[in-house]
A = this chain, B = another copy of it.
């Protein structure tokens, strides 16, 4: 007997076996089978049809159940991924709202008052005491706008000179890096400067450093004051925790700026720049722990600003060809695109 391996072949094989069995019954116990050739032939055909019918039904049920299971898994993945993306966005925005509120604090108590009600000591104490509000922000710092014509008087008042960022390092130097401030050179002559005047104690070493002297920081600062929105850097490794993080920068304007101001008006009305360092990796980690459920999913977060070169912000880079769902993330910076991929 030929035993073909296809499904239909297998079915035929079973039919043949049953056939032999029925023939055996027919010859050994003729009284049970009936005694006419016509009835015999009719029964054989009915048996074949009956068997084929049930084979088709079985495979249909199998296929239906399987497609239902895949659909269900896809639906679960989509809803879980969207939920996580929305919550990450919410928590990011809560932290960012706090940093933005600090920019209003600076505007209200530093620039709108003469003499200013804020000095480094007050700033450090306030940021320290309100740190519980920004659990994933490792530090905030405020850099003031100084025109070249005001530089001399500014340096005399503060008792230090405006420093430029250490440019010996090939990678852009961020506020979070710990380097010896006293070893830094004074900033060369520029049209304007953005020296840090207040900083949370955790990043106090950046005080007096000019934020316009670092390439990436300069871009951020200029973009923030033009747009009036919080802008983000590309993700980079934070020195202390070695986690991936970003810096969000807000411009602080004079209070009389109308809300529909042009970019040029915004630049003119700029008083300074407030930056906060955010630990994205801890943020996502905490979120996933909060939402831990029976069904676990693999989460990756990417900075997709350069589509051909996505930068990982969270998660391992294991590729798989299983089900994947992509949820968009909006961190408030229209220039940057972020997304969450779940598997």
- Interface residues of chain A, those whose CB is within 8 Å of chain B, are 31-32, 34-36, 39, 79, 86, 94, 97-98, 100-101, 104-105, 107-109, 113, 117, 122, 125-126, 129-130, 132-133, 290, 293
Q: Is the CB of A132 within 8 A of B97?
A: yes
Complex alpha-carbon distance, A34 and B33, angstroms: 8
DSSP class of A's interface residues: helix, strand, loop or mixed? helix
Provide a sorted-by-A list of 13 A–B residue pairs whose CB atoms are within 8 angstroms. Answer: A31-B34, A97-B133, A98-B101, A100-B133, A101-B130, A101-B133, A104-B126, A105-B105, A107-B129, A108-B126, A108-B129, A109-B109, A113-B122
Complex alpha-carbon distance, A122 and B118, angstroms: 14
Q: Is the CB of A108 within 8 A of B125?
A: yes
Complex alpha-carbon distance, A100 and B35, angstroms: 97
Chain B residue contacts of A130, Cβ below 8 A:
101, 104
Closest to A79 in B: B293
Complex alpha-carbon distance, A126 and B104, angstroms: 7
Q: Other than the known A97-B133, A107-B129, A108-B126, what 17 A-B pairs have Cβ atoms closer than 8 Å?
A: A31-B34, A31-B36, A32-B34, A32-B39, A79-B293, A86-B290, A94-B94, A98-B101, A98-B133, A101-B133, A104-B130, A105-B105, A108-B122, A109-B109, A113-B117, A113-B122, A117-B117
Chain B residue contacts of A101, Cβ below 8 A:
98, 101, 130, 133
CB distance from A161 to the nearest CB of B (A): 29
Complex alpha-carbon distance, A339 and B132, angstroms: 26
CB distance from A115 to the nearest CB of B (A): 10
Closest to A108 in B: B126
Chain B residue contacts of A35, Cβ below 8 A:
31
Question: By CB atoms of chain B within 10 A, which of A86, A125, A129 has the most?
Answer: A129
Closest to A107 in B: B129
CB distance from A126 to the nearest CB of B (A): 5
Shortest Cβ-Cβ A-B pairs, 9 listed: A117-B117, A101-B130, A104-B129, A108-B126, A97-B133, A101-B133, A104-B130, A94-B94, A109-B117
